[in-house]
Structure 1
Amino acid sequence: MSRVTKAVAGASVGLMLAVPAAHAQHHSHPPAQQDHSLHRAKSGTRAAATQQQADSGANAQLEAARPANDRAGSASGADHSKMGHSEMDHSGMDHSKMGHSQVDQSTTDHSKMDHSKVGHSAMDHSGMGHHQADSSAAPSHPSIHDRPPPTGLPVPAPTDEDRAAAFPDVHGHTTHDQRVVHFVQFNRLEAWNDDGEAGQAWEGHAWVGTDHHKLWLRTEGEREDGETVSADIEVLYGRPVAAWWDFVAGVRHDFQPGGSQTFAAIGVMGLAPYKFELQATAYIGQAGRTEARIEAEYETLLTNRLVLQSLVEATLHGQDDEGRGVGSGLGTVEAGMRLRYEITRRFAPYVGVAWERAYGNTADLRREEGHALEETRVVAGVRVWF
């Protein structure tokens, strides 16, 4: 074989060996490239798992945010995550009573909605047309009218009609009926012992009649060492003239001091502001004798049964009357405080202190007769009414 022939044959054999080797090298992956492909496959798997966990967490948050009634309804009813609403028959379900009020259903396609991620408490199904599904197991939501009313609603301002209904104008005393009733009370039935000298006193009133017309009886007096030193009785007609106030007119008869005397009487009695009981009466007697008597009384409720009564009484005279031991001007002022305990409302014993002082010409007449101008005594008694 010639040299040329040997050279051509060697080149052909080399070419045939080189082509398969190059083809094999072209289709094989180097180790680094194979590791990179495996890493991308593992990363895709982890990303899918992470996405699944995120979806599960979101579903759990939505489930926790849903009201308890919706979760109970979802547990007892259908699984909306697997139900296509395009195939459901909701014709038997009353969604008008469901509290779904935050989703606009006009543009919502429920056939493509994943209900496993949507809280039904935020949806209004009242306008949806759902067909072909049996809703007998659907949850029953309470009507909004069955729920308790919300608190904190503003109170409307009272109108003139509301005020008129709550506070009617009674125009004085309201007539309840025309029955004849009566009342008797002794405000003071008391005794004392001052330096061996015993004394007693009384003060009371009574009335009989209707709400508009009453006959009043009033009396007061004192006894010392078994003798009556002062006593009088009044017979008066009374009629209400304003709320809490009565006008009275009649006669007063004095037994002592100075013997029997009769006076015409006119005055008012009632409840003054701040709950002061007030009596103011003027008297006109024989020979132009005049007199005025003002009495104010206030009661302090210490407990439901323990009451402190404060009393002030003043007497004024128009002229001197030596037979009665009184002079013109301010005659006497009497004040007292009595603490009573109401065993019943009708019967209440008390203890107290009474003080009396003479002034002006009355004080001069007492001084001439040897009587004290001022007296203070401790008293005990009872207050009764029936």
Structure 2
Amino acid sequence: MNATHDKKRILAMNRRLKKKFLVVAIATAGFTPIFSYAQAYNAHSGHVATPASPTTDGASMPGMDHSKMNMPGMDHGAMNTKSPSETSSAMPGMNHGESQAKPSAKKPDMGAMSQGSGEMDHGAMQMQGGSAPPDARDPNAYSDGYTLDAGKYSLGSAQRLRMSDEHNFASVLVDRLEYVRGARGNEWMAYEGQAWFGGTYNRAVLKAEGEVARGKLLDSRTELLWGHAISTFWDSQLGVRFDHGIGPNRGWLAFGVQGLAPYWFNVDATAYVGNNGRTALRLSTEYDLLLTQRLILQPRVEVNFYGKRDEAREIGSGLSDATAGLRLKYEVTRQFVPYIGVEWAGKFGQTANFARASGERPTETRFVAGVSFRF
């Protein structure tokens, strides 16, 4: 019986000790953040705390007597807030109005901190500049010999790297070199093409078109132009034009545009001004319809207008002539394209009257076969 009674007493004492330990642990955990904040604030600001007078404010937290609290690490006198009114409104039930500190001491000088003591020295920090350190990477290590010397290439300006639009290129395109047979059995050769030399934005352009029969030049048009890129797909052209063949030679000033219209129509439009008040306008367009990757059907239309009658060259005013053709091309390569086709040609107005007076028909259908090439 005595042993059982002693055992119960020991168990009861253990339970009471556990309850006391639990109460102390809860109280310590609740006030630890406040103690830590006060210590950190004092250490940072350098405030010197003054004893706080006992509060008699009835709005203080019930059950808490700050005057009797004597816990190590906590100094209510060092707690400094913005103002008593702000603090009391921020934390109801707790009066910090009397726990204000004296004016703070001098703040630590950040410029005095040095890296040698484990602290930061902002005063010694400088931006990058001056001479490169001895172990800096060589900026010309991967230039394959192209090095800069005072802003110039050491290998000479002739070998400097250049962008693609700084280079000059050249191209020759013969769009039509064909045999033509008319409805009355007459035959001749026809040609049309252009060549250019220059860069992306400016180039010299040479255009040529004409007909040759029995080794004789029947009619020709030659233009020498300066082409300038005005948009991604369009060039303006300014220069001169020379007409040879039937009648006297004529010279013109030329201005026009050439480019790729929406839906992939190639357009060439040029206006001309000649001597004695002569004017002219030439329009041409063509379109490549891909039947397969190599087989192409190409419709083509060309019209010519003149502002003044020229009897010496058998040309009337207004719409002078028009040509509409359809050619079936086969691309052996991109540079060599043979073709066959059919073409209708007509003369109008006073130009048609000149043709009848010469014993020619104003309109006819022609068979053509030829080749296009470029290089």
TM-score range, shorter-chain basis? 0.5 to 0.7
- Asked if 1:299 corresponds to 2:292, the answer is no
**Mapped contact 1:197–1:224 kept (Cα < 8 A):** no
The yes-or-no answer on 1:378 pairing with 2:367 is yes
Matches of 1:285 and 1:257, distance apart in 2: 17
The one-letter code of the counterpart of 2:207 is: R
Contact 1:314–1:332 under 8 Å retained in 2: yes
CA gap 1:329/1:291 in 2 versus in 1, 3 angstroms: same
SS in 1 for 2:166: coil
CA deviation string 1:284-333 (max 9, x = no partner): 11111111100011010111111111100000000110111110000001
Q: Which residue of 2 aligns with 1:312?
A: 301
Q: Does residue 270 of the first structure (1) align with residue 270 of the second (2)?
A: no
Matching of residue 342 in structure 1 with residue 322 in structure 2: no
Aligned-residue RMSD, C-alpha: 1.2
Structure 1 residue 261: Cα displacement = 1.5
Match of 1:181 among 169, 174, 177: 169
| Alpha-carbon distance between aligned partners in 2 of 1:249 and 1:177, rounded to the nearest angstrom | 21
Q: Does 1:222 align with 2:229?
A: no
**Counterpart-to-counterpart distance in 2, 1:224 and 1:370:** 18
SS in structure 2 opposite 1:365? Answer: helix
Instruction: Give matches, 1:130-169, under 5 Å.
Output: none
CA contact (8 A) 1:306 1:341 kept: yes
Distance 1:281 1:196 in 2: 33
- How far is the alpha carbon of 1:198 from its aligned partner? 1.8
**Paired residue type of 2:269:** A
What do the CA deviations read for 1:135-173 (whole angstroms, capped 9, x no partner)? xxxxxxxxxxxxxxxxxxxxxxxxxxxxxxxxxxxxxxx
Q: Residue 367 of structure 2: SS of its match in structure 1? A: strand
Distance (whole Å) between structure 2 residues aligned to residue 258 and residue 266 of structure 1:
24
Q: Deviation of residue 369 (structure 1)?
A: 1.8
Deviations 1:87-131 (A, max 9, x none): xxxxxxxxxxxxxxxxxxxxxxxxxxxxxxxxxxxxxxxxxxxxx
Provide the C-alpha distance between the structure 1 equivalents of 2:304 and 2:324, rounded to a whole number of angstroms.
12
Deviations 1:42-84 (A, max 9, x none): xxxxxxxxxxxxxxxxxxxxxxxxxxxxxxxxxxxxxxxxxxx
1:293 and 1:334 map into 2 onto residues whose CA distance is 12
The 5 A counterparts of 1:217-256 are 217-256=206-245
**Does 2:243 match 1:283?**
no
Q: 1:265 deviation in Å?
A: 0.2
* SS of equivalent to 1:361: helix
Residue 343 of structure 1 and its aligned partner are, at CA, apart by 0.7
SS of the aligned residue for 2:351 comes to helix
Distance 1:257 1:282 in 2: 21
More helix by share: 1
TM-score scaled to structure 2, two decimals? 0.55
What letter matches 1:262 in structure 2? G
Checking the alignment, whether the CA contact within 8 Å between 1:197 and 1:225 is kept in structure 2 is no
The answer for unaligned runs of 5 or more in structure 1 is: 1-174
1:231 counterpart SS class: strand
Take 2:268 and 2:174, find their aligned partners in 1: how far apart are those partners? 16
**What amino acid maps onto 2:374 in structure 1?**
W
Instruction: Give the partner amino acid of 2:177.
Output: L
User: Which amino acid counterpart does residue 176 of structure 2 have in structure 1?
Assistant: R
- SS of corresponding position for 1:327: coil
Alpha-carbon distance in structure 2 between the residues aligned to 1:317 and 1:229: 20
How far apart in 2 are the matches of 1:367 and 1:228?
Answer: 22
Deviations 1:336-360 (A, max 9, x none): 0111111111001100001100111
Secondary structure in 2 aligned to 1:362? Answer: helix
Give the distance between the partners of 2:317 and 2:180, measured in 1 at CA: 30
Count matched residues: 212
Select which of 337, 341, 345 maps to 1:352.
341
Shift of 1:192: 2.4
User: What is the letter of the counterpart of residue 249 of structure 1?
Assistant: L
Give the residue type in structure 1 aligned to 2:218: V
Instruction: Kindly name which structure, 1 or 2, has the bigger radius of gyration based on alpha carbons.
Output: 1
Secondary structure of 2:353's aligned partner: helix
1:173-209 Cα shifts (integer Å, max 9, x gaps): xx84210101100000000233442211000011100
Mapped to 1, the partners of 2:320 and 2:354 lie a distance apart of 10
Find the counterpart in structure 1 of residue 92 from structure 2.
none
User: In the alignment, which residue of structure 1 is the partner of 2:75?
Assistant: none
1:323 alignment partner, SS class:
helix
Amino acid in the other structure paired with 1:227: K
- 8 Å CA contact 1:295–1:313 kept in 2: the answer is yes
Q: Which runs of 5+ in 2 are unaligned?
A: 1-162
Q: Deviations over 1:215-244 (max 9, x none)?
A: 000000012344322112100001111221
Separation in 1 of the partners of 2:256 and 2:246? 23
In structure 1, C-alpha distance between the alignment counterparts of 2:336 and 2:232, rounded to whole Å = 28
Aligned partner of 2:179 in structure 1 is 191
